[in-house]
Chain A
């Protein structure tokens, strides 16, 4: 279990990251019950109130409570991260497995397409996908998911290539099992550790990308509270309400910092166990 390995390894940063992420997940889960006010409730008389006991993070241009919006925004950010990673892994892992296992023309074809996808900076690729699908929260998730496919596929392919020559795989093959069993039971289970690290890395990149897309007005649309779109709105009122641009940014940075630290900690645990190394997708936001 990861927490125990972290305690044993005295990995304070990793432990802190775990706590922050669990805290964020809890906040996201319980958002409707713990947020002090309705994140969408407008109150014209409360415009741009600075942080106080009644509004800990202040209010925005419509008099909405920023703390409540940040709490509800955690849901959007975490859900986007999770959905994007899920898409990336469910498409990327089988692709990499297939390419590495089949080799030859199949492998070459898959790799060339991935090369092309990697040649376009992640956020630009996501923007192109949104240009086709149209702006919106769900389309942003799809775009971010699609962008994370290549890193999963490449990682899985690399592990598959080394694993398929190992004795236990050759032995299993000699027993006469089919290729599907070999790929998904024998090889995939043994390639799982670096993929888990990759999930943490991709999660961080995905949250950042979603925030960047919403910041540009291409992701979650107002009035839904998303950290990126809050920053975008706050940008116009920096002078009247500096807190508007501060708090959502602090939360984004904290979550990305934690996910990065968690990925490092996981990598240390994986290194100790002797499995392969995960390759991070390029952060381009």
Chain B
């Protein structure tokens, strides 16, 4: 297992290197002087001089890249020109906020997908199954931004049950934080819940007709242990892959969800940075997202081994 993890970590390097080249190149693709692009509109000639020297703009491109990468590896992602804060500090502030939202929406997605997927697989021709199919089609077609608006309209403005914007740290006031989280978490989780429900249904349908499930039934087990213990655990393997792959959907959706609910996470920071041309922040955020995506893919692979004792990496 340790060797496999090491092997996979080495495999990650080319993707990460490519990503870093892409992110670094961004500054050079923007028309005009890269130093000015990084520093923003109101800078003194001395600042430009200093940044040019730091970036090594008079040296060959590969050297400039090496200089930049050297700083990034040491955790120096540069400074935001808008507020003068190091990008690493800004990321550290925003990551827990977005994490709180993604974990909550992930819980919502699972809470919807598991019963929906299981019910529609166990009773494939019932009205429940038809209802679930309808929900899935709808949840996959309704754009995140419109769903968010509808929820705000319905639960925030008409029924006045839930707050429509803002953020409370879960680790400070869990109860209040939950009230603030419900609408954004559902907005972000709805699409993934449909994807997961579909996959759970398909995976469970497949395992329900396997020999060992028939054996479990034949030895007199009730429906609950047959489905819960024998079928579901094996059906989980493809579902876990999908969960891991949906991380991208979460990060992308978070940008929109955070915009709707004025939620101060990574997505809002990225959007603000793009709109204000704060390129160091854009670079840092994208670099972090790619890194997170790659690491989560690795964890997904390793989760297989935990769920399926037949899979042993060596």
Contacts and interface: CB of A to CB of B under 8 A. Distances in A.
A242 B157 CA distance: 10
Nearest to B22: A116
A115 interface: yes
A212 B256 contact: yes
B252 A239 contact: no
Interface in B261-310: 270-271, 273-275, 277, 279, 282, 286, 289-290, 293-294
Interface string B125-151: 000000000000110111111100110
B153 A116 contact: no
Contact of A119 (B19, B144, B260, B282): B19
A135 B271 CA distance: 12
Interface string B179-192: 00000000000010
B251 A121 contact: yes
A217 B260 CA distance: 12
Contacts of B140: 260, 283
B270 A127 contact: yes
A130 B146 contact: no
B85 interface: no
B18 A113 contact: yes
B78 interface: no
B293 A127 contact: no
A60 B94 CA distance: 35
A80 to B, nearest CB: 14
A276 interface: no
A238 B271 contact: no
B82 interface: no
Given A112-B14, A238-B157, A284-B249, A128 B282 contact: yes
A1 interface: no
B279 A131 contact: yes
Interface in A72-131: 112-113, 115-116, 119-124, 127-128, 130-131
B256 A120 contact: no
B249 A283 contact: yes
A163 interface: no
Contact of B248 (A131, A232, A249, A284): A284
Given A119-B15, A120-B293, A284-B253, A235 B279 contact: no
Contacts of B256: 123, 212, 215-216, 285
B251 A285 contact: no
B1 interface: no
A140 B140 CA distance: 22
A146 interface: no
Contacts of A228: 145
B227 interface: no
Interface in A212-234: 212, 215-218, 228, 231-232, 234
A212 B252 CA distance: 10
A98 B219 CA distance: 56
Contacts of B145: 211-212, 215, 228, 231-232, 285
A132 interface: yes
B173 to A, nearest CB: 27
A256 interface: yes
A190 interface: no
Given A127-B270, A282-B245, A282-B248, A120 B290 contact: yes
14 contacts: A122-B248, A123-B252, A212-B144, A212-B256, A216-B259, A228-B145, A231-B149, A242-B153, A245-B150, A252-B143, A253-B142, A282-B249, A284-B248, A284-B249
Given A116-B22, A116-B290, A246-B153, 15 more contacts: A120-B286, A128-B26, A131-B26, A131-B279, A135-B275, A215-B145, A216-B271, A218-B271, A228-B145, A238-B149, A238-B152, A252-B143, A283-B191, A284-B248, A284-B251
